[in-house]
């Protein structure tokens, strides 16, 4: 591994060393592509879709609407993240035909006039299964925070404690940006094995190369250059 690629590897380690891959953290994780991370939204993160519906609680982590209806919570994930699937935690003991619990992820464009169910996927209870965790199919949907706002909607059908909602877990992972068609650096051609990684560092502002339009793959990294790499990658600021 060459000097500048080695420092890029160490840069990744310095960022990802604060939490194990796939571990729940406060808020959305912003590093790591290998394993899924999880954002958990408890029922207490949701607000009623209509003020007339109202909320009631069955247990500390279970809520339901006093009339058949829905409640929403914002979903905040890093731009470019790939939503793999989501899980709904709910309890359904109702014998009513339409008394179910369901959940979905919504993406609404900036105008607010076009809202879509992500992947057309709705998870719902059937046949009064009791307290269960139900998973969606694999969505494979990339997050575009510029074009869309995202939130989770959950609905309870009975209007009483026989259908309650506990929360939603969203499983996602990060991806390295697709490689461009034209190389940024003259010494890192598009067929180079690490072309995509080098381009991602450049596009993210972590490095601008060594000058003269080159990246200098085999050039050693000074302590000053390493400081710039780390400061740019971590977005360090005085407080």
| Mean pLDDT to the nearest integer, 44-71 | 84
Phi-psi region at 129: left, alpha or beta (left = phi > 0; alpha = psi -120 to 50): alpha
How much is the pLDDT for 28? 65
Q: For residue 94, is pLDDT > 50?
A: yes
Residue 14 has pLDDT above 50, yes or no: no
Q: What is the pLDDT of residue 124?
A: 96
Q: What is the pLDDT of residue 205?
A: 87
Contact indicator for 107, 101 with CB cutoff of 8 Å? no
- Segment 206-223, tens digit of pLDDT: 888 989 999 998 888 888
Give me the pLDDT at residue 29, please: 64
Q: What is the average pLDDT across 5-21?
A: 46
pLDDT at 16: 40
Q: Which two structure tokens, joined as six digits, stand for 3?
A: 């000097």
Tens of pLDDT, residue by residue over 105-164, are: 999 998 777 999 999 999 999 999 999 999 999 999 999 999 999 999 999 999 899 999
Look at residue 169 and tell me whether its pLDDT is greater than 70: yes
Predicted TM-score (pTM) of the model is 0.77
Residues 198-207: tens digit of each pLDDT: 998 888 888 8
For β-strands 148-156 and 101-109, DSSP reports them as antiparallel
CATH 2.60.120.260 segments of the chain: 37-173
pLDDT (0 to 100) of residue 176: 84
Taking the C-alpha atoms of 19, 20, 21 and 25 in order, what is their torsion angle to the nearest 10 degrees?
A: -50
Confidence of residue 24 (pLDDT cuts 50, 70, 90): very low
- The torsion of the CA quartet 4, 9, 15, 19, rounded to 10 degrees, works out to -170
Provide the pLDDT for residue 175: 85
Distance between terminal CA atoms of the chain?
A: 36
Q: Please state, rounded to an integer, the average pLDDT across all residues of the chain.
A: 85
The CA distance from 78 to 148, in Å, is: 12
CATH superfamily name and code, 37-173: Galactose-binding domain-like (2.60.120.260)
DSSP string, 33-63: SSS-EEEEEEGGG-EESSTTT-EEEEETTEE
Residue 45: pLDDT above 70? yes
pLDDT value of position 3: 56
């Amino acid at each position: 591994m060459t000097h500048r690629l080695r420092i890029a590897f160490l840069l990744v380690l310095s960022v990802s060393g604060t939490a194990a891959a796939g571990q729940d953290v406060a808020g959305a994780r912003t590093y790591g592509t290998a394993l899924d991370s999880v954002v958990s939204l408890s029922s207490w993160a949701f607000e009623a879709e209509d003020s007339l519906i109202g909320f009631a609680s069955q247990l500390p982590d279970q809520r339901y609407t006093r009339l058949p209806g829905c409640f929403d919570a914002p979903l905040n994930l890093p731009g470019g993240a790939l939503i793999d699937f989501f899980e709904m935690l709910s309890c359904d003991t109702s014998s009513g035909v339409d008394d179910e619990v369901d959940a979905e992820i919504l993406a609404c464009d900036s105008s607010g006039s076009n809202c879509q169910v992500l992947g057309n996927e709705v998870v719902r209870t059937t046949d009064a299964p009791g307290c269960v965790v139900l998973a969606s199919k694999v969505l494979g949907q990339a997050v575009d925070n510029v074009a869309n706002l995202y939130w989770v909607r959950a609905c309870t059908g009975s209007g009483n404690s026989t259908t309650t909602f506990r929360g939603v877990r969203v499983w996602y992972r990060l991806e390295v940006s697709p490689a461009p068609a034209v190389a940024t650096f003259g010494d890192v051609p598009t067929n180079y094995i690490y072309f995509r990684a080098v381009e991602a560092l450049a596009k993210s502002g972590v490095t601008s190369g060594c000058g003269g339009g080159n990246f200098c793959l085999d050039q050693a990294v000074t302590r000053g250059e390493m400081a710039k790499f780390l400061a740019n990658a971590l977005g360090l600021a005085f407080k």
